[in-house]
């Protein structure tokens, strides 16, 4: 079957074609080392990830190295590959993944774990690092999963803890040296891994011995080789102005989730919400200078022709030079009909230029994340958001023509009671009717309600998560509250995260090494694309946990005693454990 025939048999074939504007295709004759960045999700999602674009640009800036990309294909494409005994290949040169020197997986979500195995399986690559010898690539991972890499420890040769921009260059240098000396990167794998394990930020799981207690906490965690660290310290880019990547921007041939240029203006977040894992992963706060951002925006616009530039950070409106930056960008780009987007705005810092920017954007909707319904609960979770300021921001938005507001909340937070849920509906109702002061109709409010998961490296990591029955009761109560108020149902749309998906996510994010076998069992039974509710199958996960001796709900919802050693305690994210404990106590007293 030709590649063209394959494409005729699958949905959205442009996902698999490559050949995008600014994709890098190098002459194989000039290449000494080839790497493939793998994203265990669909192309549409992977190409919206800034990290993969940054690494692609860094690696391809080396003349003797080719860096390509591969994504997890949708089941229809997988079927065609299997039916025709074909292997999964890279987008750029069509090389099967098993033929690369290095595969680098960007793993940012626990619900992608089975997709990693799917990509291995479609490439004929054995699942565990110990099964792979000289004939296979070195397979590494990085991304948010490094906050607790233990559930995927068996699958990877090494895992980068923290940000990979700088350390990836060291990894490639060492691998190139081994390839030159021994003919293939993994010809002397043990020797290679020992050398790599001494590089700051690199964790080689197979070199550590771990014993667990029955409650999934750690009895003993010891390095099994001399000279390797017992604690792995996160690595991160110290100066964002010196890491000016990407300098080019691939333009997909098919619409992707974030179909625009994205430029980081800040990395990290000045706030310390106690449930937030992103804060730990991206700390410390680093700020890019307005001049550098402006020059990068001009360059990326020139090479891509995109008509929208998004200024990215966890909390964009906390960027200290926002007013001047936005003014300069609007002045330069409005002449070119390029719009500037500002996601993650907080109500507090909406200044003159920012509101000008917001009012010039498509007035479809504005998003805020109060996370909890009452001030009391927001204080417990340390969510610094002032509801009066939120109302002021909403008024400004309605005046500018906005019709919709989206609000993010969590349920199952510590010390939450039903009055906190009632406050969510009150807030949504008031915000909706507020628009009547400026327009004929009330606003449409969209409530996105997720379930609180006590994630590793946060002050709440020791807490329990709500049992499934309790989460369902709270979801039902919120629906009932909306239905009980005449006319409110048409104004408030409520969307809940799937209870079962949240439980799998929690169990995997708080798990230990034993879960590598659970993930493998779930994959063998057909689990993949677990983020997608139409693909997700809870029965499979329940069986996979129970066959390996675990109860899925107990694994997800257990609380952990403060004095216990956690499966992820060997990772130093730069945030002192005593500080996390103090924050935990402050929240609950
Ligand atoms: S403001 Fe957002 S990113 Fe910052 S700590 Fe809070 S939840 Fe995390």
Residue 280 sits in the same domain as residue 134: no
Per the domain annotation, does 305 fall within a domain? yes
Q: Which domain holds residue 92?
A: 3-233
Q: What pLDDT score was predicted for residue 341? A: 83
pLDDT in tens, 279-316: 999 999 999 999 999 999 999 999 999 999 999 999 88
Is the model's pLDDT at 176 over the cut of 80? Answer: yes
Per the domain annotation, does 445 fall within a domain? no
Tracing tokens 């998004």 back to the chain, one arrives at 310
Q: What pLDDT score was predicted for residue 354? A: 64
Q: How far is the CA of 374 from the centre of ligand 1 (A)?
A: 17
Query: Across-strand partners of 359?
Result: none
Mutate to test the pocket of ligand 1, among 278, 379, 382 (most ligand atoms within 8 A of CB): 278
Per-residue pLDDT band for 399 (boundaries 50, 70, 90) equals: confident
Is the model's pLDDT at 395 over the cut of 60? Answer: yes
Per the domain annotation, does 442 fall within a domain? no
Residue 79 sits in the same domain as residue 177: yes
Residue 111 sits in the same domain as residue 163: yes
Q: What pLDDT score was predicted for residue 350? A: 58
For β-strands 202-203 and 158-160, DSSP reports them as antiparallel
Domain final residue pick, 361, 394, 424: 361
Is the model's pLDDT at 580 over the cut of 90? Answer: yes
Q: How far is the CA of 236 from the centre of ligand 1 (A)?
A: 19
Residue 158 sits in the same domain as residue 78: yes
Q: How far is the CA of 125 from the centre of ligand 1 (A)?
A: 38
Closest residue by CA, ligand 1 atom 6: 273
Q: How far is the CA of 454 from the centre of ligand 1 (A)?
A: 15
Per the domain annotation, does 517 fall within a domain? no
What's the rounded mean pLDDT across residues 350-354?
Answer: 57
Percent of the chain with pLDDT over 90: 87
Instruction: Mention every residue, 6+ apart, whose C-beta is less than 8 A from residue 273.
Output: 279, 371, 381, 382, 383, 384
Q: How far is the CA of 279 from the centre of ligand 1 (A)?
A: 6
Ligand 1: does its nearest atom lie under 6 Å from the Cβ of 279?
Answer: yes
**Lowest mean per-residue pLDDT among 268-272, 361-365, 457-461, 511-515:** 361-365
The Cα diameter of the chain in Å comes to 76
Q: What is the mean pLDDT of the chain?
A: 94
Per the domain annotation, does 449 fall within a domain? no
Ligand 1: does its nearest atom lie under 6 Å from the Cβ of 276?
Answer: yes
Q: What pLDDT score was predicted for residue 1? A: 78
Residue 63 sits in the same domain as residue 184: yes
pLDDT in tens, 309-351: 999 999 887 899 988 998 899 899 988 989 888 776 666 665 5
Domain final residue pick, 337, 361, 385: 361
Residue 211 sits in the same domain as residue 323: no
Q: What pLDDT score was predicted for residue 349? A: 60
Is the model's pLDDT at 418 over the cut of 70? Answer: yes
Percent of the chain with pLDDT over 70: 96
Closest residue by CA, ligand 1 atom 8: 276
Mutate to test the pocket of ligand 1, among 286, 315, 317, 587 (most ligand atoms within 8 A of CB): 315
Q: Give the three-state DSSP class for 553.
A: helix
Is the model's pLDDT at 386 over the cut of 60? Answer: yes
Per the domain annotation, does 315 fall within a domain? yes
Ligand 1: does its nearest atom lie under 6 Å from the Cβ of 50?
Answer: no
State the DSSP string of 33-84. EEEEEEESS-HHHHTT-HHHHHHHHHHHTSTTEEEEEEEPPPHHHHHHHHHT
Residue 76 sits in the same domain as residue 221: yes
Residue 208 sits in the same domain as residue 353: no
The CATH number covering residue 326 comes to 3.30.750.210
Per the domain annotation, does 271 fall within a domain? yes
Instruction: Mention every residue, 6+ apart, whose C-beta is less than 8 A from residue 469.
Output: none
Residue 394, number of CB atoms within 10 A of its CB: 22
Q: Give the three-state DSSP class for 570.
A: coil
Q: What pLDDT score was predicted for residue 342? A: 79
Q: What pLDDT score was predicted for residue 343? A: 75
CA distance 177 to 184: 10
Q: What is the pTM of this model?
A: 0.95
pLDDT in tens, 531-543: 999 999 999 999 9
What's the rounded mean pLDDT across residues 438-457?
Answer: 96
Residue 96 sits in the same domain as residue 185: yes
Domain final residue pick, 330, 361, 392: 361
**Which atom of ligand 1 lies at the shortest distance from residue 383's CA?**
6
Q: How far is the CA of 497 from the centre of ligand 1 (A)?
A: 19
Residue 322 sits in the same domain as residue 225: no
Residue 74 sits in the same domain as residue 214: yes
Per the domain annotation, does 412 fall within a domain? no
Is the model's pLDDT at 195 over the cut of 60? Answer: yes
Instruction: Please state the domain count of the chain.
Output: 2
Ligand 1: does its nearest atom lie under 6 Å from the Cβ of 372?
Answer: no
CA distance 195 to 488: 63
Residue 267 sits in the same domain as residue 334: yes
Is the model's pLDDT at 258 over the cut of 80? Answer: yes
């Amino acid at each position: 079957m030709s590649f063209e025939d394959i494409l005729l048999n699958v949905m959205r074939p442009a996902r698999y074609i490559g050949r995008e504007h600014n994709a890098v295709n190098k002459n194989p004759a000039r290449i000494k080392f080839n790497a493939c960045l793998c994203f265990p999700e669909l192309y549409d999602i992977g190409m919206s990830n800034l990290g993969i674009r940054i690494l692609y640009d860094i690696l391809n800036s080396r003349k003797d190295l080719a860096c390509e990309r591969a994504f997890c294909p949708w089941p229809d494409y997988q079927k065609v590959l299997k039916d025709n005994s074909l292997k999964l290949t890279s987008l750029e040169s069509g090389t099967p993944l098993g033929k690369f020197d290095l595969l680098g997986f960007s793993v940012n979500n626990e619900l992608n774990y089975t997709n990693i195995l799917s990509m291995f399986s479609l490439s004929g690559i054995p699942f565990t690092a110990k099964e792979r010898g000289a004939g296979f690539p070195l397979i590494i991972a990085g991304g948010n999963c490094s906050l607790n890499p233990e559930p995927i420890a068996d699958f990877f040769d090494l895992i980068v803890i923290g940000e990979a921009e700088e350390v990836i260059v060291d990894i490639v240098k060492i691998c190139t040296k081994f390839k030159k000396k021994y003919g293939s990167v993994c010809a002397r794998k043990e020797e290679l891994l020992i050398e790599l394990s001494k590089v700051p930020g690199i964790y080689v799981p197979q070199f550590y011995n771990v014993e667990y207690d029955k409650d999934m906490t750690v009895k003993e965690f010891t390095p099994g080789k001399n000279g390797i660290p017992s604690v792995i310290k996160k690595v991160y880019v110290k100066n964002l102005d010196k890491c000016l990547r990407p300098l080019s921007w691939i333009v997909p041939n098919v619409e992707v989730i974030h179909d625009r240029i994205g430029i980081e203006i800040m990395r990290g977040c000045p706030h310390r919400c106690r449930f937030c894992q992103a804060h730990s992963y991206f700390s410390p706060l680093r700020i890019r200078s307005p001049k550098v951002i402006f020059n990068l925006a001009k360059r990326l616009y020139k090479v891509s022709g995109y008509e929208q530039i998004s200024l990215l950070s966890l909390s964009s409106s906390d960027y200290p030079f926002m007013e001047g930056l936005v003014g300069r960008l609007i002045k330069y780009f409005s002449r070119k009909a390029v719009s500037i987007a500002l996601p993650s705005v907080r109500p507090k810092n909406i200044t003159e230029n920012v509101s000008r920017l917001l009012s010039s954007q498509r007035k479809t909707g504005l998003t805020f994340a109060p996370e909890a319904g009452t001030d009391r609960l927001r204080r417990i979770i340390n969510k610094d958001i002032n509801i009066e300021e939120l109302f002021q921001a909403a008024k400004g938005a309605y005046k500018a023509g906005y019709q919709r507001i989206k609000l993010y909340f969590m349920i199952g937070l510590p010390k939450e009671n039903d009055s906190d849920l009632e406050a969510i509906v009150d807030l949504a109702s008031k915000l909706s009717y507020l628009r009547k002061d400026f327009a004929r109709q009330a606003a449409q409010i969209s409530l996105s309600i997720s379930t609180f998961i006590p994630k590793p490296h946060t002050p709440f990591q020791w807490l329990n998560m709500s049992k499934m029955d309790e989460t369902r009761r709270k979801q039902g109560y919120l629906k009932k509250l909306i239905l009980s108020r005449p006319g409110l149902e048409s104004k408030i749309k409520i969307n809940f995260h799937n209870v079962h998906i949240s439980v799998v996510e929690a169990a995997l994010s708080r798990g230990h090494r034993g879960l590598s076998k659970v993930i493998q069992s779930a994959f063998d039974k057909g689990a993949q694309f677990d983020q997608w509710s139409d693909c997700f199958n809870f029965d499979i996960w329940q069986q996979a946990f129970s066959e390996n001796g675990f109860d899925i709900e107990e694994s997800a919802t257990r609380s952990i005693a403060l004095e216990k050693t956690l499966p992820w305690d060997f990772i130093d994210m730069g945030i002192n454990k005593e500080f996390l404990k103090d924050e935990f106590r402050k929240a609950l007293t």
